Structure 1
């Protein structure tokens, strides 16, 4: 029995070290992605260079909202839903993407496997794809959408986590009330 427990522990540690989590889908305690057809309303968010308009969004718990993201600025911007701690972690991933040459001022550059040699495998497997369901990148002059069902009352931020953008004030408040 002791050996079985040690083997089970070793298997768990190996799985974690390889990045093979038990659940491949990331979950969020404030909600989940939804299809645009499920939305009960749409909110347009205009992205300027280092600004969001509106700066605040109010939502009711249980509501599904289609966020229409219009980038009227000259730079690539991100719309990311989360709390301050989530944004701080995501900013580190975005910094890695920028340092790798993948994140450019006006868009994303496709990376081949050879150009990622020596990089952190977690960043390659997750962050280097920029495929989180609570986040979307919008190139200058483009429009994108993010539809989300907000499941509980909470206070969140929507932010651009491209290096320096959050710090320059590209962050807004999203309040989910009962």
Structure 2
């Protein structure tokens, strides 16, 4: 009985620790999300299966861009703003989501906590610099770019970045 209580306590503490790690307040040195009404212009990005069109986007520092994301492919795709290191880290998160069954080739499943027994409880796709777009759907992401830098926009669903689903985003003065 004593051992079982200790195991239950350990499991609860472990579950709480996953929830705390998964929800830090994230900031981005290259900008922040913005309401669509603040956009100075719109840029349409067409997602095919393993491609973006255009492959490169030029922006001025201080500009607020409304990205209109059109998925013309047969698979679920992501539009994520960041540098190569951010994409590499996010790819590992997406791989965990895929391995848990939360991420499928065509959708992101909502999972209840009961179904997630033994998995990381904090798994969500809610980063402000990222949006998932199901096949045949359109989504938007509006972002204010605060400084000159070189970034990438990418799909971090396992294998997509490696297959070439990445583009250059240049923010100039």
- What's the CA shift string for 1:68-103, capped at 9, x where partnerless? 000000000000000000000000000000001010
* Equivalent residue number for residue 73 of structure 2: 73
* Equivalent residue number for residue 52 of structure 1: 52
CA shift for structure 1 position 114: 1.8
Aligned-CA RMSD value: 1.7
State which of 148, 156, 166 in structure 1 corresponds to 2:151: 156
66-75 or 102-111: bigger deviation: 102-111
Distance in 2 between residues matched to 1:28 and 1:161, nearest whole Å? 18
Identify if the C-alpha distance between structure 1 residues 18 and 92 changes in structure 2 by more than 3 Å, giving closer, same or farther: closer
TM-score, length of structure 1 as denominator length: 0.84
Distance in 1 between residues matched to 2:38 and 2:110, nearest whole Å? 32
Question: Secondary structure of the residue that 1:91 maps to in structure 2?
Answer: helix
45-54 or 102-111: bigger deviation: 102-111
* Equivalent residue number for residue 127 of structure 2: 132
- What's the CA shift string for 1:10-53, capped at 9, x where partnerless? xxxxxxx57648x9531000000000000000000000000000
Identify if the C-alpha distance between structure 1 residues 78 and 18 changes in structure 2 by more than 3 Å, giving closer, same or farther: closer
Distance in 2 between residues matched to 1:84 and 1:19, nearest whole Å? 26
152-161 or 103-112: bigger deviation: 103-112
Q: In the alignment, is residue 142 of structure 1 matched against residue 137 of structure 2?
A: yes
Identify if the C-alpha distance between structure 1 residues 71 and 119 changes in structure 2 by more than 3 Å, giving closer, same or farther: same
Distance in 1 between residues matched to 2:89 and 2:24, nearest whole Å? 19
- 5+ residue gaps in structure 1? 1-16
Runs of 4+ in 1 over 2 A off after TM superposition: 17-21
Distance in 2 between residues matched to 1:146 and 1:96, nearest whole Å? 24
Which aligned pairs between 1:12-51 and structure 2 lie closer than 5 A?
17=17, 20=20, 24-51=24-51
* Equivalent residue number for residue 12 of structure 2: none
Q: In the alignment, is residue 165 of structure 1 matched against residue 160 of structure 2?
A: yes
